Amino acid sequence: MATQFAPVELGTIKQGEFVDECEKAFRGVQKGLIAHVEQFKKSATAVLSTKISIKYDSEKESFAIVTDIEEKLPKKPSKVTTAFISEDPANGELCLFSQAAGTNGGNPRQALLCNEKGTTLDPETGKIVNSKS
């Protein structure tokens, strides 16, 4: 039985597994980016990188085709809160201050309705507001 040879193409690398893995990774990056955008409602970028290296081995007198697929999804957006500089009455040093309930994205001097522990309360009901999002 004779062996048949053909030029190497992307579809023949690893008997077609490389192209299949690229397709699977491409679908995965799309799904990941869509989920990210739906969750955070912000512009984002996902990257799918493929790398193909061809190395010659003089001892074996043959070439090795080495492939790598890297998926990079966007990170969660950074949380940004605000504070202002003031003097700490305990030691007279400058430091950052926020509302007793903690920092948020609004004006740090904006007073929120809080209990004695600094926990934010709903101004209409007086109940503790769940600050975790």
Q: What are residue 41's phi and psi, to 5 degrees? A: 55, 40
Taking the complete model, does pTM exceed 0.75, yes or no? Answer: no
Q: Could you read off the pLDDT of 90-133 as tens digits, one per residue?
A: 999 999 887 766 666 666 666 555 666 666 666 566 677 665 44
Residues 4-22 have pLDDT tens digits of 899 999 999 999 999 999 9
How far is the C-alpha of 43 from the C-alpha of 20, rounded, in Å? 29
> What's the chain's Rg over C-alpha atoms?
28
Contacts of the segment 79-82: beta carbons below 8 A, 24+ positions apart: 80/105, 81/105, 82/106, 82/107, 82/108
Structural tokens at position 80: 């940004």
